[in-house]
Amino acid sequence: MRRFGRTTVTAARAGAVAALRRAAGRIDRKTPGHRDRAVDGLRALALLAVPTGHWLLGGFTVDREGGLHNASPLSSVGALAPASWVLQMLGVFFLVGGYASVLSFRRRTGSTRAWLAGRMVRLGRPVLGVTAVWAVAAPVLYAAGVPEATLRTAATLVVQPLWFVGVYAVVTALTPYCVRAGGRLGGWAAAPLLVSVAVVDFLRYGPFAASVPSWLSLLNVLPGWLFAYQLGVAWGEGRIGRRGARLLLVGGAALFAVLLAAFHYPASMVGVPGAARTNSHPPSLLVLALAAAQSGAAMLLRDRLARLLERPALWAPVVVVNLSAMTVLCWHQTAMLAAAVPASFSGGAVAGLTTAPEGLDWVGARALWLPVFALVLVGIARHARRFEAPPGARRRGAAVRGAVAGVLAAGFGAFALGLA
């Protein structure tokens, strides 16, 4: 009986592996020959770093009423800061975004306005979907006994990644201007953006910091994130070669080290609760230094990555992640909350989930939860992917549904921002 059971399990496992291989083979055969596998691989890697970073470096504390509140292990374990250097890959995301956008822009068959409208719809529908769903879910959860503190924490976490979509939409709208700048200056078109951020950093952190208004830091938002996008546009146009990539890698790494050692920038690339300074909101010069180094490394590794992704078993997951990019971005915090909120009702602290994120023991416990969050996200994606699909033929009542979703999303946004 035992041997029969083992044989059955082995056969089932072999069958599953064979099915996965066949699926990977079908995906590989359907991939157009002109598809840039390396760029898709870089996008998938940068995208997966977002939920990994949020899940690993974001925790909760529970108050006496059972309400969840945001916390971070970075507040107590400063040695974790270097992990954020790897997990903060938005520079790579903007780099490949610029690369892909310029190729798409060059291939457009309609007007620039039509091209931009299509890109905005692809970005906006998933955001509208997740916020509208949460606008309906929040009052239902409150009626079911979920504390208001938990709901406000959840709203903050859900909205947290969505700022990126807004910035990315603005940067995408600037693609025609980035193309012109890249055509004239090549990769050097990104240099004025770096200088702009450096000047603002000098004003807000230098000898005149006491007399500089706090809103001045907002001037870094656009050039800070446009920097890597502009590099991607120049790369896509073939204006940055291996020599330029080496310059970006070495120069970015050197600037990063100098800013940390000599100018005492915060070591963490993500916000730390209670810290006086942050690198990412808005981006500081340290973010651009890291983006430059990561961009240079990505360019230099492109050919090697492309060869690796010729293997169907490696290429298939990249395709799946890219097809679900906005779903992963918009819903990964919901997946974590789907585990944490029920745990807050358990009556006891759940290690790595509702215990205070203090010490390396918590990090080890949280790492064990990452596969759970990932499985929940896969389950959510089966239904949420519909928001990412391109809109079909206009149906009767679509405008009404869109208007209702917009109102719900606005209401949830006001709640998340503390305006309601």
Answer yes or no: is pLDDT of 4 > 60.
Answer: no
Per-residue pLDDT at 416: 79
- State how far the Cα of 39 lies from the Cα of 299, in Å rounded to an integer: 9
| 58-62, 76-80, 291-295, 356-360: segment of lowest average pLDDT | 76-80
Question: Computed over its alpha carbons, how large is the radius of gyration of the chain?
Answer: 23
Mean pLDDT of 297-318: 94
Question: 86-140 pLDDT, tens per residue?
Answer: 989 999 999 999 999 999 999 999 999 999 999 998 998 999 999 999 999 999 9
Q: Place 155 in a pLDDT band, splitting at 50, 70 and 90.
A: very high
Per-residue pLDDT at 396: 54
Mean pLDDT of 310-332: 93
Per-residue pLDDT at 18: 74
Q: Place 79 in a pLDDT band, splitting at 50, 70 and 90.
A: confident
The answer to whether the CB of 230 falls within 8 A of the CB of 178 is: yes
Distance spanning both ends of the chain, measured CA to CA: 63
Q: Which position has the higher pLDDT, 15 or 325?
A: 325
Question: 172-216 pLDDT, tens per residue?
Answer: 999 999 999 999 999 999 999 999 999 999 999 999 888 999 899
Answer yes or no: is pLDDT of 417 > 90.
Answer: no
Share of the chain above pLDDT 90, in %: 65
Strand (E) or helix (H) holding 61: strand 59-62
Question: For residue 333, how many C-alpha atoms fall within 13 Å in the half-sphere facing its CB?
Answer: 24
- Return the residue matching tokens 């100018």: 263
Mean pLDDT of 362-388: 93
Mean pLDDT of 361-365: 92
Share of the chain above pLDDT 70, in %: 93
Q: What is the DSSP string of 226-266?
A: HHHHHHHHHHHTT---HHHHHHHHHHHHHHHHHHHHTS---
Question: 234-290 pLDDT, tens per residue?
Answer: 999 999 999 999 999 999 999 999 999 999 999 999 877 777 788 988 999 999 999
The answer to whether the CB of 207 falls within 8 A of the CB of 198 is: no
**Count of helix runs (H) and strand runs (E) in the chain:** 16, 2
Per-residue pLDDT at 398: 64
Q: Which position has the higher pLDDT, 388 or 311?
A: 311
Answer yes or no: is pLDDT of 393 > 50.
Answer: no
- Measured from the Cβ of residue 116, the count of other Cβ atoms closer than 10 Å reads 18
Strand (E) or helix (H) holding 364: helix 360-384
